[in-house]
Structure 1
Amino acid sequence: MNLFGGTISKLENGLSYATLKNKAITQNIANVDTPNYKTKEVSFQDIFNEAKESSISANRTDARHYDFSIEIGTSGVYSNENFRTRPNGNAVNMDAEQAKLAENTIYYNALIERLNSKFSTLNTVVKGGR
């Protein structure tokens, strides 16, 4: 059963992306003083392209057959090898990372609010509009 026309699964995918991006940003911040550490990035475009190319769907020969697909992909995290900002080889720009973290937090919270709205609607329906 696909509640809300697949909206909840799309919100779940968005939350997974935001969580992965948050992990990369926090790793960058944690390694701000590590020599030769290169910043990690999460590219939405790369994840999107991999998702388009790396899914296997069932061959349905009858409308009564269940439709399913299997997602095969990588993490979508890559290192920026070309940046050197300090003499020790560390490429972490703390101001930029904190700005990315704030932006990602806003994005994550917006997705959570939307998901809560969907669950609230479902709760209202289950209670019969009360």
Structure 2
Amino acid sequence: MDIYGLMKMGLDATELRNRTIANNIVNINTPNYKRKYVTFEDSLKNEMDNAKIEVKVDKDSVVREDGNNVDLESEKVNQAAASLQYNAIVSLTNTKLSMTKSVISGR
């Protein structure tokens, strides 16, 4: 996988992660709702060429009396981390594009 493809997948993963976290927060009071999370980095570590972005359901964490397992504080921390990751990838992409542009223009 080339660097631009990897950056695009990283942006796609963090964007989906942000939407998934927002959906978890919206459903914090929905009985029997199970939080969802996005996996990408583990798949990337194991097989770079076949990395995939997946949304999974958390069936293992502690469940409240109403069957919901969303923890608002944890989701807010995850949301902040995902936003920082997204911004870092955008910055890296811009830097890479600037370097390519500089090489093409001969500067």
Sort the TM-score into its range (normalised by shorter chain): 0.7 to 0.9
Equivalent pair of 2:39/2:53 in contact (CA under 8 Å): no
User: 1:127 Cα deviation (Å)?
Assistant: 3.5
1:113 equivalent in alignment to 2:91? yes
Match of 1:11 in 2: 7
Equivalent pair of 1:39/1:91 in contact (CA under 8 Å): yes
Equivalent pair of 2:44/2:50 in contact (CA under 8 Å): no
Which structure has more helix as a fraction of its residues? 2
Long gaps (5+) in structure 2: none
Equivalent pair of 1:85/1:93 in contact (CA under 8 Å): no
* TM-score, length-scaled by structure 1: 0.68
Match of 2:36, as an amino acid? K
Question: 1-side partners of 2:96 and 2:28: how far apart?
Answer: 39
User: 1:99 Cα deviation (Å)?
Assistant: 0.2
State the number of aligned residues: 107
Which structure's CA Rg is the greater one? 1
Question: 2-side partners of 1:108 and 1:84: how far apart?
Answer: 29
Once the two structures are superposed, what CA deviation does each residue of 1:54-95 show, in whole Å capped at 9, x if it has no partner?
A: 69xxxxxxxxxxxxxxxxxx7511111233442211111000
* Shift in CA distance, 123/52, structure 1 to aligned 2, threshold 3 Å: closer
Question: 2-side partners of 1:54 and 1:119: how far apart?
Answer: 24
2:33 pairs, out of 28, 34, 37, with 37
Match of 1:98, as an amino acid? K
Match of 1:65 in 2: none
Equivalent pair of 1:38/1:83 in contact (CA under 8 Å): no
Identical pairs, percent: 30
Equivalent pair of 2:39/2:54 in contact (CA under 8 Å): yes
C-alpha RMSD of matched pairs (Å): 2.7
SS at match of 2:60: coil
Question: 2-side partners of 1:52 and 1:10: how far apart?
Answer: 9
Long gaps (5+) in structure 1: 56-73
Once the two structures are superposed, what CA deviation does each residue of 1:5-28 show, in whole Å capped at 9, x if it has no partner?
A: 922221111111212222211110
